[in-house]
Each structure stands twice: as structure tokens, then as C-alpha cells.
Structure 1
Amino acid sequence: MTSCTRTPGCAGTVDDTGYCDVCGLAPLPAADQSGATASAVTPLASTRDNWTVASLVSLPVLAFSTDGDATQPPRVPEEARFCPGPGRHPVGRSRGGRPGLDRGFCPRCRTPFSFLPSLGPGDLVADRYQVVRCLARGGQGWVYLARDAHQDDLEVALKGVLHANDETALAAAIQERQFLNTVDHPNIVRSTDFATHDDPVAGPTGYIVMDYLDGMSLRRLLVAAGDARQPDVALPLDHILAYGHEILAALDYLHRRGLLYTDMKPDNVMRTADRIKVIDLGGVRRSDGTYENLVGSADFLVSIEELRARGATPRSDLFALGRTLAELFEHRTPGPDTPGAAADALGVESFRRLVARAVHPQWDRRFASATEMSEQLLGVLREILAGQPDRRQPEPVSLFQPSAQLLDAGLGLVPPLHTWVDGPDTTLLDDGRPAAHVVALGLPTPRPDPDDPAADDLAAVGAPDARSLLAKLATVGQVSVEVELGRCRAYLALDDRRSAAEALAEAGMILGERAEADWRIAWHQALLALTDDRIAEARRQFDAVYGDIPGEIAPKLGLGYCAERAGDAVLAARFYAAVWRRDPFQASAAFGLARLRLAATDRVGAVAILDEVPALSRHHDAARVAAVRVLSSRLAGGPPTAAELEQAVGRLATLHLDGGEQQGESRDRLTTAIREMALELLRSGAAGALAPSPVLGEPPTERAVRVLLERSYRALGQQAHRPDDHDVLIDRANAVRPRTRW
């Protein structure tokens, strides 16, 4: 025995255990005790291969090399060092400038403690698994690389999860953990066995035997992404969302089987060469509404108040995932080439809202299931990728039914006859902004909740108009939120706002306390506000919906209109562009962007947007008509140029009008509008040399255009159904025809 030199003034002696019998400490080791981690960031490089997540994101296949120093095990941080005895006293902490001990015994209760791996190279666990080295320190114990002697030395990972001096408790725990062997999902590390080993300090210890994965945790990946020595490592936002999608698939698998993961964090997700794997299954437990002995990390756990009230739930797993995504986002790799990095892109804001809902402090405001969160995450991912030309595609099934109505206020229609009967000789082109009540009826409609008691009845309901719909809804016997919301929309279509508000209030009463957290209520409140032209209130409600379902298009379309009405062209363009870049079949967003450009007298920009409406869109012809009208009409900035008018003439010949006929009433009206503008340009001397054409004459002189315009007015006169209208059009014809001697 020797005198203790660990603590100044200590009168104890170091016995054959290696520790002082008074202070419980051991002499300072010769090696450095600074606590610095010796292992370096795992070097890695990308190969030429890729793997795809959700058919959206192409991720590089990574090749990993061996750790720079695999001989030094990770150290347990001081804040995690506690006595294993019942008192849970802090032990092994630094004191008086001296580093803490990795091994010793508690000075209060004399319980031995060790923060060093209990297994070393060559140790045999359960007479089968030979330890190679220590890999990491998990939430419950050490993780080791071992070889399975029964499987041709196949490499496996041993995850220590339990110390139990009570043999009965150990046997029960082993039986309880057997369910892990039934977990089989491509994004969850496979557990193959549960083994025990007698730890000399802590007693019998249980080990989950898992597949060994070659890769790095997301924690180390985010560190590597910021390391100049790792130029092949990147963590852009689309990759973060792709990782989140794969993690959600794993959580959904567990939740559907009545299991909770409980310890989600970047440390417990592995990025292998071509896969995301959730690891460290030591905390997996059955979803039984309790939280005793819950495994988790403080920064990723819900509040203790929630755990006491509800226990651990799937929503607490999703909360931890939200925290995980937020931490990855803080270390993302920015750059001008990052998808969604355009100055007006909305994807980053949508991502922030996705995370905000996942980590909302109120239990009922968070995502209720991994499936629900995954749907919104994919929507945000599509928005992030929407800036790439090959990413524009029709939106898959969402929470909203597509709307057949085009919110253009007639800009995509051929001018009606009353334009010439009632209007002045020279008019500015209407910008096509629809009235608020028209938008309320024309926005996409939420799909009925499949869990609603009346879902089957509503699926069979078909009605040609709002009154018929109300009559059919009155026959539904169940108390149903969806029935009341359907009644609300039907009353709005009939302009019965009072009854619409009453139906919405009834839906809220059925939901009770859940109404505040139900985005459907906020959506219909926004529609009610629009019908009353209360734009600020509608904007507030649409924003609430956006916060709840950030991956959906519909609330962004509503917010774009509200911003446009409020005169905030920049914000309106941001919302409209987010919708339009993402789905080329959302023509209402294209017309919204075109309107904003018309308001800025950007005729060319408006036409460019309208030209993007694809041929397969039901609104393709409307966009082509609108482009002709924009090119041939007077804007606030003045009339079109001769070149723009000639474009209108050329486009007119390609329009599908009057059922495809070359002559007809619609073509006559649009031709009339073009000829009127040609005459105005010729009379002002701004026409220059217009190209010869059947529409403007060959050559297009003022006299030739007058003759053609006279014919147009007389053709419009044949469309009149009232004598007074016919007379007005004939007067126009007489007023414009060239003067003659006779």
C-alpha cells in the first residue's frame, strides 16, 4: 500500500484495488487526462454512383475509410458522469484544476464506478462474440465491434444496454428485449441476438447484437461537412430533408407496431454508403403511455410535464426528430447552387415551419403521426427542389383536391361583346385580378378526412350545384365535421355568409378543444374572411394553415392573393413563384405572377410567364389567349410596340378558338381588338413598318386597317342580340371606315 497523492492533505492509502480508502480516488495516470477526443473525423469520398430518396433527391454513394485513431475509445463527458448507485451522485468530475477520474468509487456510497469500456480486444461475450475494439459510447452503454464465431467471424456491433445484479430481473429484461429481433426495416439497423456478459464492476450486462454498419453518424457528418479536409462532404438542405424522410419511414414502422424509439438524435442515425440507418435500439420500448426509465437526451426530449401527463408517445419521437432536423439545418452547407437558394425562394421558410410544428410545445399542435409529418416533409422537399428545371411536375395527391377554376378574372378569355357596346373607345387592359369572394370559391378544396364518421357517405355524394349539395348533406345521419365544412362551402357559394359561419361554428363545436389545432377550421375561417373582403384576417388564417401544413400548395396560393391585395408585390411574387415553380399545372399562380408583371408594366415578362403554362394543362388555351391580349392592349405604361403587336397577330393564327374552326365569333372579337390597336399605332405614327398580314392588310396602311376594322365591327354587329347593341356596333363601323367621295 502507498500513501494517497491524489488529493492534497488526504491521509488515506491506496490499497490493492488501486483506489484511496478515504477519498475514493486513484493516483493521477501518466497519460494526458485532458479529455480531448483522440479520434479524427472519418475521411470519406464520394463515388460516381448515386442513390435516390423518394424519387426526388439523388445522393452520392460514399466510401468510408478507417478512423484515424481507432485505439483510443471515446470519453464519457463529465456532465454525464454519475454514480451507478441509488443516489446518482456526480462522480469522476474535474476538481481544483485536476481532471476527473475514469474509474473509482463513489466517496458517498462507496459504489464502484467506471467510465471506461469494460470489454477489451479479445474478450468473448456469450462464448460467441469476440471483441475487436470499442466503437462509441451510447446512451446506455458502450458499443463494440466484434466478430461472430458462429457466423464465420461476421462483424457485428455489441450495444450494452443493461446492468442487473438481480438474475430474475435480468432474465425478464432479456425476454422483454426479444421483440427487437423481430424489427426488420431497411432504415433500421438489424438486431439479431441478445447476449449477456459478467461485468467485473457493474455485474451482469446485457448486449444487443446488431449488424455492424460502415459509415458515420449524422453527428459526425455535420462535423465533417464543416471540415475543410472533407471537400467531398456536403450537407445541403435537400439532403437533410432526404435524411428526415428515411428516418420517418423507420419511425413509422416502429409506431405501427406499437413501439417507440425514444432516443432520436444525430448521434443515433448512421449515413452508410447508400442508406440511412437508425441505430442504438437500446431505448426502444412499447408504447404503453408511461415514461419510467425512459432513454433519451435532454436536448431532444419533450417537457417533463408532458411526459407526466401523457407518457412517451409517437409525438415525442417526432419532437426529437424535429430537434434533429433543426440541428442539421444549423450546420447545413449553403451556397448559390443549393436548391431553393434563390432570393425569393420559399423553401427555407417552409422547412422552418415544418420543424416548428414538429417541436411545438403543445402536444396536440404537433404532427400526430410519422406519416403525417412525412407528407409535409415531402412537400417541403419538392419546394426546395422546384428551382431545378427538371423538377417541375404535377403535384401528387395532397390534402387538397385540385381546383378546376382559373383565378384570372377573365384575362384568359376572349373579350365579350359588351366590351365594344358599353366600353369607351380606348381602355386599359384589365389586370385580371379576381375579386376576393371569387378566390374564396376558386381555391382548392380540402379532401375529406378519411377518419370522419361520414367519410363513406361523403365519398358517394355528387351534386350539380350548391343547393342540391345542401339537400344531400341534410340526409347524412352522422354527427360529422366534414358535413358541416361541406355545408359551409355550399352556403358560401350561395352568398349566404351567415349560414356559412353557423356551419363552421358547428364544426368547431364537434371538434371541441381540438378545433384550435385543426387547420381545416382555420382554412374555412380564411374563406369566410375573403367573402367579406377582410383581407388582413384572411391572410392571418392562411398563415396559420401554412404553419400547420407547410408542404401544401393551397395556403401559399391564398397568401399570394392576400399579399397582392395588400399591395405587397414582392411577397405576393414569392408565394406565387413557390407554387408555380413547383407545379406547372397551377395556372392560377402563373396568372398571379403575370398580373404582378403587368402592374409593373412588364409586358414581356407577363407573356413569358403565360407561355410557361404547359400544353397538357386545362388552362393552356386560356394562357395563350391572355398572351395575345397582353401583346395587343394598352397598359398603364402605354400601348404595345409594333413588334409586340406583330407577335399578337402571329399568335392569333395558332389559337384554338370556336371549336377549332378558322372563323367564328371569338376569333372575330379578338381580331377586332388587334385591329383597333393597329389603327391607334398607325394614327400616332408609332407603328413603324408593320408586317403585311391578312389581319392588318397587305400592306398594313391606315386605310387598309380602317377597311378591315369596319368589317370587324359589322361582324360583331351580327353577334348582337339586342337592336340597341347592333346599332352601337354599326355606328362604330361607320365612324372608322375610310372617307370617300361618295
Structure 2
Amino acid sequence: MSTSQAHGGPAGTSGAPTGDGAPCKRPPCDGAIEDGYCDVCGFPPAPDRPNPPVQGPPVQGPPVLRVPEPSPPVQGPPTAGIPSAEQSGASGAPSSGPARQRRSRPSTPTPSRGQLGAGLVTVADVPIADPPTMVLADPEVPEGSRRCAGCGEPVGQTRGDIPGRLEGFCPTCGQPFSFVPKLKPHDLVGQYEIVGCLAFGGQGWVYLARDRKVAENFWVVLKGLLNTHDPQAMAAAIAERQYLAAVDHPNIVKIFSFTEWQGTGYIVMEYIGGMSLLKLLKQRRDAAGGQPDPLPVTQAIAYILAILPAFSYLHRQRLLYCDFKPDNVMLSGDSLKLIDLGAVRRIDDSGPSYVTLGYQAPEVADLGPSVASDLFTIGRSLAALILNFRGNTTTYAITMPPQHEHEVLARHDSLYRFLLRATATDPNARFAGADEMFDELLKILREIVAVDDGRANPAPSRLFSPDAHLTGENPDGGVAGPPWLVLPICGPDPDDPAGATMAALPDMAPEALTGLLSAMGPPTTQTRLRLARAWLETGRGDRAEALLTAVAQEDPYQWRTDWYRGLLALAAGRSDAARDCFDRVYGAVPGELAPKLVLALATETIDPTRSARMFDVVSRTDPSFTSAAFGLARVRARAGDLPGAIEAWARVPRTSAAYLPAQVRIIQTMVGPGAQPGRADLARASGLLDALHVDPSARAELALAILDRALAGLTAGTLQPGDDVVVVGRSLHVRDVRFGMEQVYRDLARLTVTRSRRIDMIDAANRVRPRTLM
């Protein structure tokens, strides 16, 4: 029986099956449960009723043990439990507002098959070498990596002709240091026979060993837990860390036991072959001649997505990882694992916290680590993987670098917004939990794949309804109005006490809904937000504004308030205010398409360049958002880019009800005012018309427009006649085109319902028909 099975499954579930072989219930994942976790997406069984984990407020003022910024570590492959040896800087987006109790809501991630890349991208496997070949032949710490574990100052440095010491005391703080391996090959530490050193980290050497009680080739790793001359303190530290042995997740290195040898405590953990993300970055840099070569953005996101379920698990167990960085993620074959659990602590622990400069959240020094600070380190690590990040411990120690300085951020604004929220200076402004972070990052990966590779792989949103209007336009081609009525609908917050009630509200007239919601009590954030929309629908914008102001004052982190304020601004024709509101919504849920669609609509006239960019991203990511394709075409057409407008309408899927209007617009644009169709264009327009199933009157109008433009070109001499081009069933000659137009006019005369128009059509047919000699 697995650990999860023995304990009733992961926290936060209610009756969810955890037995081996049970299907994963997180659509569209088709994995199966093994040892309490899905073998595809890595998440525990979907809960019947998810319960948010208890996070608790940050502990005030614990001591923070800072890992200094050393030089590159001793050459050798990172393995399980190897601490950081390369630092980077902290980032964040300032956010103001009163503090609040953070909530972490389990969501339902939907990765596709394949742990790495979620089925959207392909990531190459990392080969696993034979463990003994990874042992260092001459384990020695370079002087550049010799720093005091207490204050971070250099120690053991050469002075003149005097070589640096490998053991001694820090001249700054007096703490003892030693860079001499305490364990030698063939030493026995309990049942573990030492094979050699793998690497050196912030807490000492990491060793490869055999577990002689299991098998000759059962490899484990020993990592120093505590170096002290106080046996009682060491024993207390080991006892305090016994909970690490209970950690059981496929993406977290397994802790087997704790042992002691000559005054030093060691964590005994499984050996993970492969390489760390830091080692991967260094390999790319070496291959590029010493120049930084960040990971491809989709590959980096795939790695972070693969490791986020481990953080969800730890947080449900009320544990904090504290010191996440690229060093501490091991690539092995086609999987990733969190290694180095030396800094893991309980949420309510007030003991020391190990952090790394450049990844530490700004509040940790004063308030201690929290779920929010763990999320900060994840966002920071993603930035380190994709950016040539200079000044990360100085200029940009708690901020992100300007977007325009990094092409990948300038190209993918949603990714930049994600990093801003993940590393916000205000911990309450960050994501509520690892699950929410996973959801948004997976959506961003879908977007990047669609924009960069042209492969749309959309998924339904849990926050917004689908595209509410097929074209977003009135029959005359203008924006439908009032414009907010055609936008996707924002769903209620399921954490709200009335969230389920709001989701189940029946369709009813706005006037009746205002009465129903006003009578509900006690009012919650979601009931007031829904009531604000109802007042907006009845034309009472003043009442809606009063409700939204009250909600914003009580919960400044509720992004749905900005969504409804944006709707109110759109209804009032205040495009600038609407843009600002929806921009904040976009920053809060950067992976969602609905805020981008609304931003595009709000900026269509005041900032057409930005509007076109947003329409383009939405349309490419999810072609079912057909109003985005129409919006993009509209903006391009206004700018005189008729080929661009045609390309936008051509994105509408054939299966969509908007396909027919889009094809009609293409034909109208190809032969309409301002167009100069050539022979191929006329043939294409005619072919499109042949394939359309439209009513006879509309078909006749389109045919007439095509023939009229053909006749104009032939008459003006801009088109060369010929039998090789057929236009609405007629060869490209003046006589044939005229006969074609005559026939269309007579068809229109038969289809019209008014006598005056019928006469006009007959007269037009007589005028256009070729003259004949009798």
C-alpha cells in the first residue's frame, strides 16, 4: 500500500479514489493513479470538494540564513540534494493596498498527455549515466567558491605566497569552515558505503554511497544536514526533520533516513541521475562559447509546469520548500524532481530559513517564508531560465528588468505579466497558490505555441464563458453596442460563500435579478458583483458604481471588481478608463484570453496598434474566439491593410457559425472600394462564392460585385483578358462579363419584392448587356 493510500490520500480530497489503477479525473488527462498520484499530470486525484490548504500568516522575524553568491562550483554533475552554486536576483512588481489573508484554492489543472510539455511541446530526454562515473576524481573546492556559510564572505583565500586554507575560522564572523571531504571512499556510515564525492554545496560535500543492506548497486546520496560540535543540537535537528521522510511525491526526491557520523548529521536520499537545470544552462553557455544562452521559452515553461505539482503537494502538507532555484531541479530521463530538501520547513516553523540571494522574496527577511514566497522563487527561477538576466542581485534584485530589454518578454506580453505577478513585491498580489500558477502558465504555454508555431491547442476557461458574440459587430459592420454586451461573462469566485449559488442562477430579466440579489443575505463579494452587473444591464450605472467601490475598498486584490468596472466604463463610452480596468484584470490572470479580447475592444480606436496585437493573440490561440478575428480585420481594414484584413477573416474555422459572414467579408473586401484585384484575386473571389451556401439574393449581390470589378479592370486595361480565368462562370472577356452581369441583374429582378427595384434591375440589365448587330 502506498503512503497516500495508507493515509487516505492527499490532503484536500473528499472520497477521491487513490488506489492504483484508478483513472485520473482531471479532464482531459487520461492517466491513472499510481501511489496516490497521476502517472501523467503528476497531480493527486481530483477532489470531490476541494478544501483550501491552511497557510497561516507568515511568522514574524525568524532568522534568515543567506546562501552567498559563490563562484561556479567544483566541476561535476549535480545530483540529488546538491545546494545552489550560482545565484540570480529577485524580481517583483510593486503593488499597494492593505494586507489580507491569502487564500490558496486547489484548481483543476488540465495538462495533456506527457509530463514534460503537457503534450504541447516536445522536450528531449536527458540520458542517465552510470552513478560511479559521476564521482569526482580530485574533489577540491576552488577558492572562488570558498565562502562562509554564515556571513557569505570569502574564506580560505590565497594571500601572497601563502595558499588558502581548506579549514579554519571566518575572519569576519568567526564561524568555522571546512572544505575537506569528511568522508572517504569505502568509509561506512551505518549501512552506507561511501563511493566518493559528487559535488560541493552550501552545506558541505555531497556523496554517492551504496546501501549495503539493500543491494550492491542500490545507490543513495548522503548530504550534510548539520555541521556542529553540539551533539544534542544535532540530534534535535535530525528529530525535527524526520517529517521529510514522510514526503512522498513522484516529483520530489525521496528521503530514506537520517544518520550521524563523527559529529555530522546526514540526510540519506535517493540518487537521481541526469543533470540539474543549472547544469543544463551551463552546458548551453559552454556550447555558445561562454556567452549566455537561455533555454527556449517553451522548454523552460515545460520544466516549471512539471515541477509545480510538487509545490502543490508540499503546501497541502503544510510544508514550504523555501530555497527553490534551477540548481534544485533535476532532469532525469523524461521527468523532473525537486532535490535538496535541506531548507524545507513547516509553515508554522519559526526556525531559521535558508534562502538564496537573487531568489529570496523581499518580505522573507522580516516576515519569514510562506506559500507566497515559495511562488516568488518559482517565478524567479523561470526568469533565470529564459533571460540573460544581468543585475539580478543588484539593480533588479526585487524587480523584473524592463520588458523591452529582453526579446522573449517583448514578444510574449502574457509571459511578462505572469512573471510580474509571480514576483510581485506585495505577497498578497501574487498567485494564490501553485495550482493557480500552474493553470495560468499552462494557458500561456498554449498561447506561445500558437503564436510562435501556428499550432492552436485551446482549452476551455474556468473563469470566463466562451466568446459571447460570433462577430462582435452589428450588421453594418460596426462594433455591436453597447459593446460590453458582446463580451465573455466572468464566472463567480468558487471560494466565495455564494459562489455556487451565483453559478446556478437561472436566466431572468435584469430587473427581476436585481430584486432577487438584493433580497439575498448576507451579501458577499460575488453577490454584490453580480448585482452590479444587473444594475448595469438595467441602465443604473450609478448603483453599479457604488457597489463596485465598496467591494474594492474591502478587497483590493479582487480582480473581478476591475472586470465589472471595465464593463461600466465601456457602457459609458469611457475607453481610457475601460482600458485601465481591463489591463489590471489582464495582469491578474495573464493566461486568460477574455481580458485580452476586451482590451483589444477597449483600445480599438484609441490605440489601434495594441488593439490589433491583442486581437491577433486571441485569434491565434483560440480560433473559436471569432470576434477577435473580426476585430483584427476591422482594425487592419481601417489602416488600409486589406490583405491583412482578409487574412484575419480567413482564420475563422469552417465549423463556426461565423464562417459564412467571414467569407462574405473576404469577397466584399477583395472586390470592394479601395481594392485592386488582379486576375488571380478575381478567380479566388469567384471560387469562394461558389463554395458558399448563401441565399440567392446575397449570392447575386456578391456575384455582381465581382463581375463589376472585372469589367472595370478590363475596360481600363488593368486586367488582361483570357480564357484561362473564369469569373462567376464567365471567361475574362468584356463580352462574357457583360452577359454575366446582365444575367445577375435579371436574377435580382426576379428576387426583389418591390416594383420600383424590379424596374431598376431590368433597366440595369439592359444597359450592361453587350450590344449586338442585327
> Shared fold by TM > 0.5?
yes
The question of whether the paired residues in 1 share the 8 Å contact of 2:450 and 2:620 is answered with yes
What SS class does the counterpart of residue 364 from structure 1 fall into? helix
| Matched residues, number | 640
Structure-2 separation of matches of 1:353 and 1:238: 16
1:657 aligns with 2:657: no
What does residue range 280-319 of structure 1 map to in structure 2 within 5 Å? Answer: 280-288=340-348, 290-303=349-362, 305-309=363-367, 311-319=368-376
The question of whether the paired residues in 2 share the 8 Å contact of 1:672 and 1:713 is answered with no
What does residue range 151-550 of structure 1 map to in structure 2 within 5 Å? Answer: 151-153=214-216, 154-163=218-227, 165-198=229-262, 203=263, 205-228=264-287, 235-288=295-348, 290-303=349-362, 305-309=363-367, 311-331=368-388, 348-387=412-451, 391-410=455-474, 432-434=477-479, 437-509=481-553, 512=554, 514-515=555-556, 517-550=557-590
Q: Displacement, 1:360?
A: 0.9
The question of whether the paired residues in 1 share the 8 Å contact of 2:321 and 2:344 is answered with yes
The question of whether the paired residues in 2 share the 8 Å contact of 1:359 and 1:366 is answered with yes
**Structure index of larger Rg:** 1
Structure-1 separation of matches of 2:253 and 2:418: 27
The question of whether the paired residues in 2 share the 8 Å contact of 1:441 and 1:492 is answered with no
After superposition, give the CA deviation of every residue in 1:466-490 in whole Å (9 maximum; x if it has no partner). 3344344334334222222223333
Tell me the residue number matched to 2:657. 618
After superposition, give the CA deviation of every residue in 1:479-510 in whole Å (9 maximum; x if it has no partner). 2222222233333334433233233224324x
What SS class does the counterpart of residue 386 from structure 1 fall into? helix
Q: Displacement, 1:196?
A: 1.6
Q: Displacement, 1:209?
A: 0.9
What SS class does the counterpart of residue 315 from structure 1 fall into? helix
Q: Displacement, 1:586?
A: 1.7
Structure-2 separation of matches of 1:296 and 1:343: 30
Structure-2 separation of matches of 1:370 and 1:620: 39
The residue type paired with residue 148 of structure 2 is R
Q: Displacement, 1:313?
A: 0.9
The question of whether the paired residues in 2 share the 8 Å contact of 1:262 and 1:312 is answered with yes
TM-score (norm 2): 0.74
What does residue range 703-714 of structure 1 map to in structure 2 within 5 Å? Answer: 705-706=741-742, 708-709=744-745, 711-713=747-749
Structure-2 separation of matches of 1:540 and 1:224: 43
After superposition, give the CA deviation of every residue in 1:278-335 in whole Å (9 maximum; x if it has no partner). 10111111111x54311222322223x55534x3211111111122122222249xxx
Structure-2 separation of matches of 1:406 and 1:495: 25
Q: Displacement, 1:364?
A: 0.8
The 3 A distance-change label for structure 1 pair 568 and 42 is: same
The question of whether the paired residues in 2 share the 8 Å contact of 1:382 and 1:582 is answered with yes
After superposition, give the CA deviation of every residue in 1:243-286 in whole Å (9 maximum; x if it has no partner). 11122111111001111111111221112222211101111111
What SS class does the counterpart of residue 54 from structure 1 fall into? helix
Tell me the residue number matched to 1:560. 600
| More displaced stretch, 589-598 vs 255-264 | 589-598
The residue type paired with residue 738 of structure 1 is N
Q: Displacement, 1:552?
A: 1.5
What SS class does the counterpart of residue 489 from structure 1 fall into? helix
The question of whether the paired residues in 2 share the 8 Å contact of 1:453 and 1:478 is answered with no
The residue type paired with residue 201 of structure 2 is G
The question of whether the paired residues in 1 share the 8 Å contact of 2:77 and 2:198 is answered with no
Q: Displacement, 1:727?
A: 6.3
After superposition, give the CA deviation of every residue in 1:417-474 in whole Å (9 maximum; x if it has no partner). xxxxxxxxxxxxx6x3516x54322222222111111112112212154334434433
Structure-2 separation of matches of 1:78 and 1:708: 85
The residue type paired with residue 764 of structure 2 is V
Tell me the residue number matched to 1:591. 630
Any gaps of 5 or more consecutive residues in structure 2? 1-69, 80-113, 390-405
Tell me the residue number matched to 1:423. none
What SS class does the counterpart of residue 225 from structure 2 fall into? strand
Q: Displacement, 1:163?
A: 3.9
Any gaps of 5 or more consecutive residues in structure 1? 1-33, 44-49, 333-341, 414-429, 719-725
The question of whether the paired residues in 1 share the 8 Å contact of 2:325 and 2:378 is answered with yes
Structure-2 separation of matches of 1:63 and 1:192: 24
Structure-2 separation of matches of 1:179 and 1:502: 50
The 3 A distance-change label for structure 1 pair 568 and 112 is: closer
Q: Displacement, 1:379?
A: 1.6
The 3 A distance-change label for structure 1 pair 42 and 183 is: closer
What SS class does the counterpart of residue 157 from structure 1 fall into? strand
The 3 A distance-change label for structure 1 pair 81 and 680 is: same
The question of whether the paired residues in 2 share the 8 Å contact of 1:52 and 1:59 is answered with yes
Structure-2 separation of matches of 1:110 and 1:315: 34
Tell me the residue number matched to 2:64. none
The question of whether the paired residues in 1 share the 8 Å contact of 2:194 and 2:210 is answered with yes
The 3 A distance-change label for structure 1 pair 99 and 381 is: farther
Structure-2 separation of matches of 1:249 and 1:235: 21
Structure-2 separation of matches of 1:42 and 1:163: 21
Structure-2 separation of matches of 1:440 and 1:553: 16
The 3 A distance-change label for structure 1 pair 224 and 708 is: closer
Q: Displacement, 1:138?
A: 3.5
Tell me the residue number matched to 2:196. 133
Structure-1 separation of matches of 2:408 and 2:199: 43
The question of whether the paired residues in 1 share the 8 Å contact of 2:136 and 2:198 is answered with no
Q: Displacement, 1:113?
A: 4.0
The 3 A distance-change label for structure 1 pair 63 and 114 is: same
TM-score (norm 1): 0.77
The 3 A distance-change label for structure 1 pair 157 and 69 is: closer
Q: Displacement, 1:82?
A: 5.4
What SS class does the counterpart of residue 130 from structure 1 fall into? strand
Structure-1 separation of matches of 2:717 and 2:587: 55
Tell me the residue number matched to 1:71. 138
The 3 A distance-change label for structure 1 pair 623 and 217 is: same
What SS class does the counterpart of residue 188 from structure 1 fall into? coil
The 3 A distance-change label for structure 1 pair 82 and 274 is: closer
The question of whether the paired residues in 1 share the 8 Å contact of 2:209 and 2:219 is answered with yes
1:80 aligns with 2:147: yes
Structure-1 separation of matches of 2:632 and 2:142: 57
The 3 A distance-change label for structure 1 pair 80 and 321 is: farther
Structure-2 separation of matches of 1:627 and 1:590: 12
Structure-2 separation of matches of 1:40 and 1:171: 31
Structure-2 separation of matches of 1:306 and 1:177: 21
